[in-house]
Amino acid sequence: MLDVDLSLVNWSRAQFALTAMYHWIFVPLTLGLSFLCAMFESIFVRTGNEKWKAITRFWMTLFGINFAIGVATGIILEFQFGTNWSNYSWMVGDIFGAPLAVEGIFAFFLEATFFAVMFFGWNRVSKSFHLFSTWMVAIGSNLSALWILVANAWMQNPVGMAFNPETARFEMENFWAVLFSPVAMSKFTHTTSSGFLLGSLFVLTISCWYLLKGRHVEMAKKSIVVASVFGLLSSIFVAFTGDEAAFEVAQKQPMKLAAFEGLYKGETNAGLVAMGMINGDKKPGDSQQPFLFELKAPGLLSLLANRKTGSFVPGIDDLVYGNKEHNVMGVTEKMSKGKLAVADLTAFKQARKAKDVVAAQAALTRFNTNKEYLGYGYLNSPEEAVPPVSTAFYSFHIMVILGSIFPVLFLAFLFLTIKGKITEQRWLLPLGVPAFFLGLIAQQMGWVVAEVGRQPWAIQGLMPVKVATTNIAVGHVQATFFMFLAVFTLLLIAEIKIMLKQISIGPEGM
């Protein structure tokens, strides 16, 4: 048995998840609201209408509050790398160093210059320079997100690198392959556009609340029009980029896709589950039905996964135990190769220690034959390669269902506001108020889908999460988990209080 304490692994996982999910409350709102502020200000500069200036300053203040509370919460993730995930942190340091350094430099210059002009520069710099600064903050914030998403994408699809057994590190061979990998690109476009969507929902929610209260009616209506147009376009873009992201998952992480869909037995002309309830007792390889009930759209999963309706999509059983007919190598076979890779790595280490150059070279040559299966060598059973299916399935479907509602909502609000009938729609306005919170749920579900769906891997196929952890006392991780929970809760309460106060003051207080 492994001498890894699974409760330590799970507490480390939980702490990372808590921090990332908390951080992810603020980031997408920053990404979306920054562009909306730039749009409101562009209308002000173009029309010269002071009402648009008041609108811009109001949303900009809310943007500032969200940014200030959220800033640096991501740094805690880096603390955790060094303490809880030292093996991982050491092994990927060369890959992550460049993207994270670029992000740090980018964020610093952006925040020190354009951010200051955006908030301090009203009436002190020219209108056009102020507008330019606001756009730069929006573009810069989104580009800053690129680097962290590139790092995350590399973990899901490790490209442009080679493992160096001398240093025990993955070393970057091709920066451009890492930056422009299709997984990184689809992750970046899907994540940022979902942020635009969330920003639009935020504006919609607060504007609907104002309309229901009969306050700041003109500002609310103007804001709804801009947010609905931006939100509608973003929702359509989110759907396209989501489709591309799912295609990449199907190609690079087929187990993850099978878990999303609760697909155990591979199918040709595979159907996409529109709605269903997972059978929680189902295990890989058994004869139980995977669903208690399901509603499928025939052929759509094949189309999503391979761009062909009649094509074969491997299920969990095919991926775990192999399927010769469809040329799918199972985890069982990969584990044999992985164990050889790890044994050769051990032999290399011992030969190097004994200064036996010939034996070290021989071990290295053997290691290179199976190195792409390295991570499988650490699994105890083939079934360990299956992520938690229920969590992946429900989070994916909740995200997709919510994502399908938003464009309809934006379209309804846009149409009725342009027609001048929005204030009469007492049935529609209350639907707009919870929209932002639904958007937040969709965001969090998206994160869960991406990260839970790739379990047990820290780096796809190369490093399971249990190998990534530091062997420290579980009590230490538990203590810091609750410490973070307390700090994050306090910060969230502070944000909500400040935000609500500012919303209740409205644009007159700007």
Partner 1 sequence: MSQPIASIYSFYRNGFKNMTVGRTLWKIIFIKLIVMFAVLKLFFFPNYLKTNFQNDQQRADHVLEQLSRMTTHNQ
Q: Which residues bind partner 1 (CB under 8 A)?
A: 1-4, 61, 64-65, 68-69, 71-72, 75-76, 79-80, 82-83, 86-87, 89-91, 116, 119-121, 124, 165-169, 339, 342-343, 345-346, 349, 377-378, 380, 467, 470-472, 476, 479-480, 483, 487, 491, 494, 498, 502
Nearest distance from residue 257's CB to partner 1, in Å? Answer: 28
* Helix or strand holding residue 37 (H, E): helix 6-47
Q: What is the DSSP-derived secondary structure letter of residue 171?
A: E
Sign of the alpha-carbon dihedral angle for 212, 214, 215, 220 = positive
Q: Whose Cβ is closer to partner 1: residue 183's or residue 374's?
A: 374
Contact of 84 with 472, CB cutoff 8 Å: yes
Q: C-alpha angle 418/424/430, rounded to 5°?
A: 95
Q: Whose Cβ is closer to partner 1: residue 101's or residue 275's?
A: 101
**Taking the CA atoms of the chain, what radius of gyration do you get in angstroms?**
25
Nearest distance from residue 381's CB to partner 1, in Å? Answer: 11
Contacts of 495-499 with CB under 8 Å at 24 or more apart are: 495/65, 495/66, 495/69, 498/65, 498/69, 499/62, 499/65, 499/66
Encode 427-459: b = buried (16+ Cβ within 10 Å), e = exposed.
ebbebbbebbebbbebbbbbbbbbbbbbbbbbb
Q: Whose Cβ is closer to partner 1: residue 412's or residue 472's?
A: 472
Nearest distance from residue 469's CB to partner 1, in Å? Answer: 10
Nearest distance from residue 221's CB to partner 1, in Å? Answer: 25
Q: Whose Cβ is closer to partner 1: residue 94's or residue 243's?
A: 94
Cis peptide before 456 (omega within 30 of 0): yes
**How far apart, in whole angstroms, are the C-alpha atoms of residue 374 and residue 464?**
10
CB within 8 A of 78, min separation 6: which ones? 100
Nearest distance from residue 491's CB to partner 1, in Å? Answer: 7
Contact of 432 with 236, CB cutoff 8 Å: no
Distance from CA of residue 406 to its chain's centroid? 19
Pure H helices in 322-356:
331-353
> Which is it for strands 267-268 and 312-313: parallel, antiparallel or unpaired?
antiparallel
Nearest distance from residue 376's CB to partner 1, in Å? Answer: 11
* Helix or strand holding residue 398 (H, E): helix 389-418
**How far apart, in whole angstroms, are the C-alpha atoms of residue 140 and residue 135?**
8
Nearest distance from residue 83's CB to partner 1, in Å? Answer: 5
Q: Whose Cβ is closer to partner 1: residue 35's or residue 63's?
A: 63
Q: Whose Cβ is closer to partner 1: residue 65's or residue 198's?
A: 65
Q: Whose Cβ is closer to partner 1: residue 120's or residue 427's?
A: 120
Q: Whose Cβ is closer to partner 1: residue 166's or residue 218's?
A: 166
Q: Whose Cβ is closer to partner 1: residue 25's or residue 435's?
A: 25
Nearest distance from residue 168's CB to partner 1, in Å? Answer: 4
Q: Whose Cβ is closer to partner 1: residue 126's or residue 167's?
A: 167
Nearest distance from residue 118's CB to partner 1, in Å? Answer: 10
Nearest distance from residue 498's CB to partner 1, in Å? Answer: 6
Sign of the alpha-carbon dihedral angle for 209, 212, 216, 217 = positive
CB within 8 A of 53, min separation 6: which ones? 41, 44
Q: Whose Cβ is closer to partner 1: residue 78's or residue 286's?
A: 78
**How far apart, in whole angstroms, are the C-alpha atoms of residue 432 and residue 203?**
10
Nearest distance from residue 346's CB to partner 1, in Å? Answer: 4
Nearest distance from residue 2's CB to partner 1, in Å? Answer: 5
**How far apart, in whole angstroms, are the C-alpha atoms of residue 101 and residue 103?**
5
**How far apart, in whole angstroms, are the C-alpha atoms of residue 418 and residue 222?**
10
Q: Whose Cβ is closer to partner 1: residue 277's or residue 494's?
A: 494
